[in-house]
Amino acid sequence: MSSKYPQRKLGDDYVSAQGLGCMGMSFAYTSYGGYDDEESLKVLTAAADRGITFWDTSDIYGPHTNEKLIGKWFRETGRRKEIFLATKFGNLRNADGSATVRGDAAYVKEACNGSLERLGIDQIDLYYQHRVDPNVPIEETVQAMVELKQEGKIRYLGLSECSAETLRRASRVHPIAAAQMEFSPFALEIESEQTKFLATARELGVKIVAYSPLGRGFLTGTMQSRADLDDSDNRKNHPRFSEEHFDENVKLVNKLQELAKKKGCTAGQLSLAWVLAQGDDFIPIPGTMLRNKEVTVQGLAD
């Protein structure tokens, strides 16, 4: 049974003030000894037991295997009602590994049905468009999502990695409950006058679900060399982890660790506390593996 955990409002619901990003259990991050479903199931249980019940996944994670993992947890535990579940559509990988996006109405509905089947559930709590399709008007995509809501297949609508103008256009069709954007001491773009994203979201009453609040793991302080990342780890392709920038970023993180030590916490805990302190409209969703879940949970509790 989950314990009481600090909560924040999302739509008409209250969710755990910090969520759990499940991507790394099945996708992209390969530097933790590979993917272990049994270990991940234990992480899910540990999170639920501590009241971390806002979980985030996507059909691209795997692809599909992350949703299946969560579906397995639901079947084995019978605890679906405890979890506020978010998943996403529209970010695809072609057979050759290249990326593509889709937001046409037919695909939106097809993707939702696929996610429901893999998760073994009747309704998704929060359904995001993972990436905006530049070839399909956002109004068409959102209208398809509205129809899914009318059918009882989803409860809330969300967008991920969109512009302020796209968010505004989408909101004219139907209220958008949340926007998932990268946000951490390393990633402050949504605050800028250039993007005007945070100001627009607040004007429209849209919550910010902050992905990679630990800087894709950098802000934990556990990575001191590019050799700490497997060659197949997607993060090696990110500018933050490039040979050009890695060492300078390590210096910044080490300074953060010094400050955290004075506060009696870790750099990761301090980073999460900082995101949470930006306002009640921020909900960070760090990922975790079993061996560091206690660190993540502690940061959440603080």
H-helix or E-strand spanning residue 209: strand 207-211
Nearest to 212 by CA among 231, 191, 240: 240
CA distance 59 to 272: 26
Q: How far apart are CA 77 and CA 262, in angstroms?
A: 41
Q: Which residues pair with 10 in a beta bridge?
A: 13
- ∠ CA 56-301-249 to the nearest 5 degrees? 70
- Say how many C-beta atoms besides its own lie within 10 A of residue 151's C-beta: 11
- Alpha-helical segments (H) within 97-245: 105-119, 138-150, 164-173, 197-204
Pairwise CA distance, residues 296 & 266, whole Å? 10
Beta bridge partners of 95: none
Please return the burial class of 63, using the count of CB atoms within 10 Å of its CB with bins 0-12, 13-18 and 19+: middle
* Annotation marks residue 61 as catalytic: yes
Are 222 and 193 in contact by the 8 Å Cβ rule? The answer is: no
Q: Which of 5, 61, 127, 128 is catalytic?
A: 61
Inter-helix orientation angle 293-301/267-276, to 10°:
40
Among 300, 302, 301, which residue's Cα sits nearest to residue 21? 300
Q: Active-site residues: which are they?
A: 61
